[in-house]
Amino acid sequence: MGTEHLQYPGSRLLAVCDVDSGHLRAALDIADPAVQGYRDFREVLDRTDIDIVHIVTPPHWHALISVAAAEAGKDIWCEKPMTRTIGEGIKVVEAVQRNGRIFRVNTWFRFSDDFYGLGMPVKPIKKAVAHGLLGWPLKVTVSGVTGFDWKFFWSGKTFLPPQPVPPELDYEFWLGPAPFKPYHPHRVHTSFRGYWDYDGGGLGDMGMHYLDPVQYLLDKDGTSPVEVEADGPQQHPDACGSWRRVRLRYEDGCEIILDGESRDTEAAFIEGPAGKIFKDFCSDIPGLREKVASLPDPQSEPEDFAEAVRKRRRFALNEENGHRSCTLVNLAKIAVRLGRGLRFDPISQRFVGDEEANRLVDEPMRAPWHF
């Protein structure tokens, strides 16, 4: 959690919750004196004066707290990646919708800001794609060449001799639904992303930021790829490491390439049979910039969370399309871990004919935690 998490336009901060009393104290020190501190998120959910919760925990907690918050009648602002597994994502979608809640994932590049190193926002590309200027099917390359860093420094250590749990940390609660493993400081706080039990390395950290806009561009908000394959060094069962390449393919032939070693030095960010778009809106289509300017905008969806909550309107990046973008991340994680090509059914959201992969779709939780 960072200091920016203490300020929200259109709402007032009432409570903060952390299983590390040191972190909790640090937050309370800079928050309004009226703000209350908690160790157990369920006590926050008990408060009837709280409308919205922001889930800023490591990803292995996202789904559990989201579902509990939805059942407690709270609206939800959830950090990326939305959920650690595909199965957890399905549960969040159901719970949020069933209970009539407003949900947003905290990434925004589909509707605002320059899209990382691409040097331009997503909207003009969306217009070009939607009006067929590039043709169909499309191939998107997310790599250093097109402006995206896969952050392999989020790697775990393969040897963690147990160390005493610091008194300020409730490690049991921190682990929550994750399997018990002896404490080592590298598992928690600023380095947890390097472990499969809690996240998924750079894929977990950046995947939704990078891939949600791609899903939007390809018009795949309601579906998932049918194939995924990965190349890279073997992954440790506990610690995430680097990988070289992941390829996701949709039923209609659209492809997403995650190029971890920036191998395709000539890669366009997005290309179809009729044209390509590179960084900084460079393209092989003459006059693309002007052509795109004259095209109609895509339908706009609510981009102001406080307003969406007040008006009970579904946020632009919500539980449903958020789950589908997070599924891209989770598919890539599983392919990288298994190292074999996989087929996926976007309707049942299970792998076809691969039991090991399906065991990673729904990973059992440690009691007493369950949905």
Partner 1 sequence: MKRPALGSELSRLGQFTFVFALLFLGVLSVPGAAEKALSIPVKVSEILARFPAQSPVEKTSLAAEVFGLGEAGIMEICRRLSPPSKADDSLARYALEAAGTYAMRPGGEKGRSLYARAVIKALNGAPDPDVKTFLVGRLQQAGGNESLEPLSHLLSDRRLAEPAVQALLAIRAPDTDKALLKALGHSEEPNTVTLLTAIGELRSREAIGRIIPFASSQDLNIREAGLFALANIGDPRTEFQLSRIDIASSPREKASAAARYLLFARRLFENGRKDDAFRICRSLLEKCTGPEESQVRSAALTLLTQISGKDALQDLVKAMDSPDPAFRARALDLSLEIPGEDATAQWIAKTPEILPEAREQIIRMLGRRADRTALGFITDGLKSDDKAIRIAAIEAAARLAGSNIAVDLTPLWQTADAEDAEALERAFLSFPTEVAVPEVVKAFDGASLSAKAAIIEILGERGAKEHAGIVLAAAGNEDESIRKRALAALKDVVREEDLQQMIRLLQGAAEPSEIVSLQNALAASAQQIDDPEKRADLVIKALLETRGQKRIDLLRPLSRIGGEKALPAVVAETQSADLQVRSVAVYTLANWTEFKAAEELLKIARVEDSTASRKFVYLALRGYIRLVTEFDGQAEQKLAFIRDALAIAREPEEINIILDGLGRIRSGESLSLIARFLENPALQGKAAQSAVECALPSPGFEGLIGFETARILKRASQFIGAEFDREQVEKYAHALLIKEGFVPLFNGKDLIGWKGLVKDPPARARMTLGTLKKEQQAADEDMRRHWQVIDGTLVFDGRGNSLCTAEDYADFELFVDWKIGPQGDSGIYLRGSPQVQIWDPGQWPEGSGGLYNNKVGPAKSLLPADKPVGEWNTFYLRMLGERVTVYLNGSLVVDDAVMENYWERDKPIYPAGQIELQAHSTPLYFKNIYIRELK
Q: Contacts with partner 1 in 130-159 (CB under 8 A)?
A: 143-145, 152-153, 155, 157-159
* 189 touching partner 1, by CB under 8 A: no
| Cα-Cα-Cα-Cα dihedral sign, residues 271, 276, 277, 279 | positive
CB 207 within 8 A of CB 327: no
Q: How far is the CB of 255 from partner 1 (least distance, A)?
A: 19
CA-nearest of 216, 213, 242, 214 to 230 is 242
Helical pair 62-71 and 86-98, crossing angle rounded to 10 deg? 10
> What is the nearest approach in angstroms of partner 1 to the Cβ of residue 64?
13
SS in 3 state form for 270-297?
A: EEECCEEECHHHCECCCCHHHHHHCCCC
* Residue 9 engages partner 1 in binding (rule: CB under 8 A): no
Query: What is the spatial distance between Cα 246 and Cα 168, in angstroms, rounded to a whole number?
Result: 40
Binding mask 23-42 for partner 1 (x = CB under 8 A): -------------------x
Subset of residues 325 to 344 that bind partner 1, contact rule: CB under 8 A? 338-340
**Number of residues near partner 1 (by CB under 8 A):** 71
The sign of the CA dihedral 161, 60, 147, 337 is positive
Window of 29-37, 104-112, 248-256, 351-359 that interacts with partner 1 by CB under 8 A: 351-359
Least gap, CB of 82 to partner 1 (angstroms): 20
Q: Can you list the alpha helix ranges (DSSP code H) found in the chain?
A: 21-30, 41-46, 62-71, 86-98, 123-130, 171-175, 201-217, 288-293, 305-311, 319-338, 355-359
The yes or no reply on residue 48 touching partner 1 (CB under 8 A) is yes
**Judging by DSSP bridges, how do beta strands 75-78 and 36-38 pair with one another?**
unpaired
User: 76 to 135, contacts with partner 1 by CB under 8 A?
Assistant: 97-101
CB 216 to partner 1: min, Å: 16
Q: From the CB of 33, what's the least distance to partner 1, in Å?
A: 25
- By CB under 8 A, tell whether 370 contacts partner 1: yes
- 3-class SS of residue 230: strand
For the segment 166-185, give every residue that binds partner 1 (CB under 8 A): 179-182, 184
Q: Which of residues 235-264 bind partner 1 (CB under 8 A)?
A: 235-238, 241, 262
Identity of the residue, 249 or 254, whose beta carbon is nearer to partner 1 in the bound complex: 249
- d(CA 351, CA 281) in angstroms, rounded, equals 37
Residue closer to partner 1 by CB (options 31, 70) is 70
The nearest distance, CB 246 to partner 1, in angstroms, is: 12
Contact assessment for residue 246 and residue 229, using Cβ atoms and an 8 Å cutoff: yes
Taking the complex as a whole, the smallest distance from the CB of residue 249 to partner 1 amounts, in Å, to: 17
Other Cβ atoms less than 10 A from the Cβ of 169: the count is: 19
190 contacts partner 1 (rule: CB under 8 A): no
What DSSP string runs through 123-174? HHHHHHHHTTSS-SS-EEEEETTTT----TT----S-----PPPTTB-HHHH
Residue 22 lies near partner 1 (rule: CB under 8 A):
no
Written as one letter, the residue type at 217 is L
Residue nearer to partner 1 on the CB measure, 254 or 324: 324
Stretch that binds partner 1, among 10-18, 57-65, 103-111, 358-366 (CB under 8 A): 358-366
Q: Looking at beta carbons only, is 254 or 270 nearer to partner 1?
A: 270
Instruction: Tell me: does residue 164 bind partner 1 (CB under 8 A).
Output: no
Pick one of 167, 265, 287, 347: the residue that binds partner 1 (CB under 8 A). 265
Is 193 within 8 Å of 200 (Cβ atoms)?
yes
CB of 262 to partner 1, least distance (A): 4
State in angstroms the smallest separation of the CB of 180 from partner 1.
7
**Smallest Cα–Cα separation from 217: which of 194, 250, 186, 259?**
250
* Single-letter amino acid, residue 25: R
Q: By C-beta, is 254 or 314 nearer to partner 1? A: 314
